Amino acid sequence: MSDPTHITLHTDQGSLQLPSGSSLADAVARLLAGTEQDSVSVATAVNGHFVPRHARAGHRLSDGDTVLCFSPITGG
């Protein structure tokens, strides 16, 4: 039975539970807690779709979403 007050996300660090209505910014903060990385230094994707930094706070997550934080690749 699922818990309507929480959502479970899939990440490269394993499952992550957050309160229902959480944003991508909330997930990023939890995923990076205790690391040397900050939210400015990572790129994000939800269900395989890039989400720009400025859109994270408004991007609401749903139960079962896959969230990835990764180092952006630059080149020239």
Task: Give the pLDDT confidence score for residue 37 in this predicted structure.
Answer: 86
Task: Give the pLDDT confidence score for residue 76 in this predicted structure.
Answer: 60
Token pair 């991508």 in the structure block, residue: 24
Report how far residue 75's alpha carbon sits from residue 37's, in angstroms, rounded to the nearest whole number. 21
For residue 26, give Cα distances in angstroms to 10, 15, 41.
14, 15, 16
The residue count of the chain comes to 76
**The whole model's pTM is what?**
0.89
CATH number at residue 63: 3.10.20.30
Q: What is the pLDDT of residues 41-64, one digit of tens each?
A: 999 999 999 999 999 999 999 999
The per-type count for the chain, helices as H runs and strands as E runs, is 1, 5
The single-letter DSSP state of residue 36 is S
Residue at 55 is within a domain:
yes
Domain that includes residue 26, residue range: 6-70
Task: Give the pLDDT confidence score for residue 71 in this predicted structure.
Answer: 84
Residue at 75 is within a domain:
no
Q: What is the pLDDT of residues 3-56, one digit of tens each?
A: 789 999 999 999 999 999 999 999 999 999 988 888 889 999 999 999 999 999
